[in-house]
Amino acid sequence: MRFGVVVFPGSNCDQDCFDVIKNALKQDVEFIWHKTTSVDGFDCIIIPGGFSYGDYLRCGAIARFSPIMESVIKFANNGGLVIGICNGFQVLLEAGLLPGAMMRNTNLHFICKYVDLKVDATDTPFSSGYNKGQVIRIPIAHNEGNYYIDDKGLAELKKNDQIVFRYVENPNGAIDDIAGIVNKNRNVLGLMPHPERCSEKALGSDDGLVVFKSILKWLDDRK
Amino acid sequence: MFEAQIKVTLKKTVADPQGQTIKHALESFGFASIDQVRMGKFITVTLKAKDSAAAKDESAKMCAKLLANPIIEDYSIEVKPL
């Protein structure tokens, strides 16, 4: 399978994602510079973490209008798999591919640590390798991870089983302990924790690799 | 030439952790009368337009497209000729 990692000015988790796909998942992977206007030939697009455009105005607000995003939105609307991690999640929210918005952490601190997550939805291309209710450890590293959505939107997320990961102990004030969600069609995932930072045993944990293995299995099953 | 002064603020229904923290800091200095502090952004845009109504209209489009996130933020615009 062929994975693409989008690179904005200020992305800084792009190399980690690339490395995991190439060396841990052993699949083809390429960087996609944000000025590119096509994602043809890719099976999955990764929007990595970082500080795209310096997080100016709002996190992800400028990156969302990068030339590449138009084709990413089209790709997603045609059912293509898109995963946004941390800043990538913020970009997907700003782009309207996922509902809600991101606010500053309630304690106003940048939080960088391992957290426990509960897997609440396994019926997605990104989480099928986990067991429902399983608790996994994945690091977070963000200042704006306080997920917000209005009551109506939250009810919709719950009704459609779109909340994939929840914090066991809420670190940032996110509504309903939300750490990661999928869109209604379940082909777009956004999550604040960094699975690419814990996908090899040598790094202390490979709990995150299951996300990428789940994607691969989903793609393999459909080829 | 006109100057649009744009205020972007969090909606009243959205919690504001920065405003809360500023309020606590002010209270620690003895300002006991504070009811609420809300934090927002102030943006000035200078632009060419045929009149102030047109300048305001153009600024509103900028807010809707980029400057504010309608999910969590409101905006207000004041235009003055330069």
Which of A62, A104, A173 is closest, CB to CB, to B18?
A104
Mutate one of B43, B62, B72, B75 to test the A interface: name it (highest A CB count within 10 A). B72
Shortest alpha-carbon distance between residue A101 and chain B (Å):
7
Which of A100, A101, A108 is closest, CB to CB, to B21?
A108
Cα B34 to Cα A150, A151, B4, B17: the distances in Å are 28, 29, 30, 16
Contacts of A100 in chain B (CB under 8 A): 71
Shortest alpha-carbon distance between residue A78 and chain B (Å):
24
pLDDT score at A44: 98
Contacts of B72 in chain A (CB under 8 A): 101, 103, 148
Quickly tell me which residue has 């997605």 as its tokens: A124
Domains detected in chain B = 2-81 (3.30.1280.10)
Phi-psi region of A60 (alpha: psi -120 to 50; beta: other; left: phi over 0): left
Tens-digit pLDDT profile for residues A27-83: 999 999 999 999 999 999 999 999 999 999 999 999 999 999 999 999 999 999 999
Tens-digit pLDDT profile for residues A42-56: 999 999 999 999 999
Shortest alpha-carbon distance between residue B78 and chain A (Å):
20
Encoded tokens for A64: 């969302």
Cα A105 to Cα A43, A82, A180: the distances in Å are 33, 25, 15
pLDDT score at A138: 97
pLDDT score at A150: 95
Q: Return the DSSP state at A209.
A: H
Q: Is the ipTM of this complex over 0.90?
A: no
Q: Measured between alpha carbons, how far is A59 from A93 in angstroms, rounded to an integer?
A: 10
Encoded tokens for A180: 């990661």
pLDDT score at A204: 87
> Is this model's pTM higher than 0.80 or not?
yes
Beta pairing class for A81-85 and A44-47: parallel
Q: What is the pLDDT along chain B (82 residues), one digit of tens a residue?
A: 999 999 999 999 998 989 999 999 999 999 999 999 999 999 999 999 999 999 999 999 999 999 999 999 999 999 999 9
Query: A122 falls in which pLDDT band (50, 70, 90)?
Result: very high
Q: Which helix (H) or strand (E) segment is B58 a member of?
A: helix B52-62
Q: Measured between alpha carbons, how far is A47 from A81 in angstroms, rounded to an integer?
A: 11
Domain over A2-222 is classified CATH 3.40.50.880: yes
Domain ranges (residues) in chain A? 2-222
Quickly tell me which residue has 């690339």 as its tokens: A18
Is A146 near chain B, with CB under 8 Å? Answer: yes
